[in-house]
Chains A and B, each alone.
Chain A
Amino acid sequence: MDLKVEQLSKRFGAFYALRDVSLEVPTGKIVLLIGPNGSGKSTLINCVSGVYKPDGGTVWLDGIDLEKKKPHEILRLGMGRSFQIPSPFKALTVAENLLVCGQNHPGEGLFTSMLEKRWRRREDELIRKMLGILRAVDLQDKADTLAGELSGGQLKLLEIGRLLMLDAKLMLLDEPIGGVNPVLAHKILSQIQNIRDDFKVGFLTVEHRLDIILRYVDYVYALSQGKMIFQGPPNEVVNSKEVYDVYLGGHGS
């Protein structure tokens, strides 16, 4: 599954958050999107995932035009996303947070939910999958904890866990390691690489922490003030004058 963004524009009133931005996420590649605060990265993710309606340009997912598609339709097509500020379902347990991400569940139909026989098998399937994912992200002790009681780092892991449940073929990650200690960050990023290698899943990830993430990605795009100012392999980013100028005093790499 590949993603193609062509000449995307988004404005809020008279202010252009994005202007004619184009990028591509080929199948099974990890693509990084960087840029200083306010450059439009989150806006881009929101436009691509159907949360915002773009004012210009097109988004293609495996050749399908995503115009007018609502977020849940986009997920059904195979593209999922995480949130910069973790948004768990606070009144649900960690286990339920994952289970609710299961797709095609007869238990989630209004009438079929009344007949346990119809959904028990799928539910058990999902529970098994959920337990595996909890082990993978090291949250197995927190299965019955309310998501509202997790720490910041644990919430990030939960976000990753939810994405794993979604069976998405392409994932948009908005600062997956933001505010997370380096050990955990590397763990999360290795996970992401494993998913890419094992399942050919593509990623478009927004991140600031170049020192940690550069070694995990296949390609880099850089935004500044709504415009694309650089694209290339990770080793070229470090030497790019445009990126350096824009990041004045930003990151010590």
Chain B
Amino acid sequence: MVEIGLAFNLLLEGIVFFGIYVIFTLSLNFQYGYTGIFNLGLYLPILAGALVVGYLPGRLAMMIYGVKGLDYVTDNSSIMVLLKGRLQNDPLTSIGILIVTLIVAFTVCWLLGYVTGYPALKLPADYMALFMLCLAESLRIIGMQTMEIAGGPFGITTLNPFWWLGSLAYFGLMALIIGFTAMICLVYYVICRSPFGRLMKSIRENGLTAECVGKDVASIKRKVMALSFGVLGIGGVMHGLNLGVVIAYGYTRVDFSYWPWLMLVVGGSGNNLGVFLGTLALVLMRQIMINGKPIFQPFLPFDMLWLEPLLLAIMLMVTLVLRPQGIVPEKPSHVKAPNSEGGNLQSQKQPA
């Protein structure tokens, strides 16, 4: 019975993890697969979102309940106990704080994407990728060093917006994350299927020609960055809530940039189905590694976790050499003829 419970828990964790990473990889696909924006610093908005969820909800709750005289960071554990006690019986405030946090995270990351677009898009594509990586790493340094934001090197715990559900709190969180994942999938799907989707692809294919047919390429790219950054910020919030802590140290380029990139490359960029498959494949791999740890770890003199990046390297190498287009290569999308004319177009519309 315990084994089933354990297995069930692992399955749930896996699903949540999958959902969060789908948010990351779909956003990456939106930037790179569709628009051709090469960004290696994906974790810039993810970390920003996580920092928001580390910084804001607790302090908001403190303000609302009039908790004074304590430092949020140094007295964090005592404050958490206090707040949990209050929030357990206050669903309205819990949800209210959650909504405010999400709005703030989205807005902050949206602006971040828009503003960094100005210098970033002036650089050639490959240097832009690195520039974003450096910005992301810089935020990580800020997060690690600055106590006031999210506990600096020690991290900080986050509020669970579903404490009022009692023992079902984690399920509430899960539902939230899956719900948001589904919503974000829908949003991206709708946008990519619309004329904006082919606009993005035209910019990816040939920016100069797109410019010459009247598209303000730089502005459109900034908008793409803004939206995807905003969504990544929400993903960061979800991640922080799921983990229960925010430790800036943990938001490394490997876990939050190279992983999504690998998922994109393995799955096949430029189409959302590929993204799903790639994410699934790697999430499965990680779950296997986590489950295998208790079995194999005693035999290794170092932390088994370090085998993961090695495995990733091998997977990436194999994919690049054997199947660079990924599991699901991009398929052309078809235009639906308007109802009043039969037209010579196939009337079947295929999702991108």
Contact = CB atoms under 8 A, between A and B. Distances in A.
Q: Do A and B come from one complex?
A: yes
B286 interface: no
A143 B345 contact: yes
Contact of B335 (A51, A75, A95): A95
Nearest to A143: B345
B194 A91 contact: no
Interface stretch (A14-22, A112-120, A230-238): A112-120
Interface centre among A89, A103, A143, by most chain B C-beta atoms within 10 angstroms, is A89
A243 B341 CA distance: 52
Given A51-B208, A114-B187, A131 B194 contact: no
A190 interface: no
Contacts of A241: none
B166 interface: no
A144 B346 contact: yes
B42 interface: no
A251 interface: no
A22 to B, nearest CB: 24
A124 B270 CA distance: 25
Q: Which of B187, B198, B212, B270 has the most CB of A within 10 A?
A: B212
B279 interface: no
Interface in A111-144: 113-114, 116, 119, 123-124, 127-128, 131, 134, 140-141, 143-144
A119 B194 contact: yes
A187 interface: no
Interface stretch (A53-61, A80-88, A178-186): A80-88
B274 to A, nearest CB: 14
Contact of B212 (A81, A92, A97, A102): A81
A87 B333 CA distance: 20
Given A49-B212, A91-B330, A107 B194 contact: yes
A63 interface: no
Contact of B202 (A70, A92, A128, A143): A92
Contacts of A6: none
B33 to A, nearest CB: 11
B209 interface: yes
A72 B217 CA distance: 8
B213 interface: yes
Contacts of B341: 128, 131
B254 to A, nearest CB: 30
A166 interface: yes
Nearest to A122: B195
A242 interface: no
Interface residues of B, number: 41
B253 interface: no
Interface in B319-338: 330, 332-335, 337-338
A178 B340 CA distance: 38
A110 interface: yes
A75 B338 contact: no
B70 interface: no
B195 A123 contact: yes
B214 A76 contact: yes
A51 B335 CA distance: 31
Contacts of A73: 216
Interface residues of A, number: 48
A170 interface: no
B90 interface: no
Contact of A99 (B198, B211, B343): B198
Given A80-B212, A91-B332, A110-B191, A144 B345 contact: yes
B205 A89 contact: yes
Contacts of A101: 213-214
A163 to B, nearest CB: 9
A146 interface: yes
A105 interface: yes
A162 interface: yes
B198 A72 contact: no
B212 A72 contact: yes
A89 B270 CA distance: 14
Interface in B295-352: 330, 332-335, 337-338, 340-341, 343-346
Nearest to B196: A113
20 contacts: A71-B212, A72-B211, A72-B217, A80-B212, A80-B213, A91-B201, A91-B205, A92-B201, A92-B205, A93-B335, A96-B198, A99-B198, A100-B210, A101-B214, A110-B191, A143-B344, A143-B345, A144-B332, A166-B213, A166-B214
User: What are the 6 closest A-B residue pairs judged by CB atoms, nearest first?
Assistant: A107-B195, A113-B196, A75-B214, A113-B194, A124-B338, A89-B205
Interface of A: 49, 51, 70-73, 75-76, 80-81, 83, 87-93, 95-97, 99-103, 105, 107-110, 113-114, 116, 119, 123-124, 127-128, 131, 134, 140-141, 143-144, 146, 162, 166
Given A71-B211, A89-B201, A114-B190, 13 more contacts: A51-B208, A73-B216, A91-B332, A93-B335, A100-B199, A100-B202, A100-B210, A100-B215, A109-B196, A113-B197, A124-B338, A127-B335, A131-B345
